[in-house]
Amino acid sequence: MMDCFCGLKTVIFIKDGEGNNTSKTTAMLSVENEKVMWQEEFICEGEVEDWLAKLDIHTKKTLQ
């Protein structure tokens, strides 16, 4: 994630009943390890380029 978004280390995925990551995220983690919760969950699905562009918009809306 740091290669695509300055300051974004990773996103926090929701786990399923078996402990595996789902495509749903609840928050982001900054390079300083600050956890920022989304106002609404974000789903990482479809073409990578599409959901990364949507993640950029989602992040900006959250930080406003």
DSSP E strands in the chain: the ranges are 8-15, 21-30, 35-43
Structure tokens at 31: 């390079």
pTM: 0.75
Structural domain total, the chain? 1
Within 8 A by CB and 6+ apart from 45, the residues are 23, 51
**pLDDT tens profile 7-48:** 788 899 999 999 999 999 999 998 899 999 998 999 999 998
Domain contains 2: no
For position 44, which CATH number holds? 3.20.180.20
Domain contains 1: no
Residue with tokens 């479809």: 46
Phi, psi angle pair for 48, to nearest 5°:
-55, -45
pLDDT for residue 2 is more than 50: no
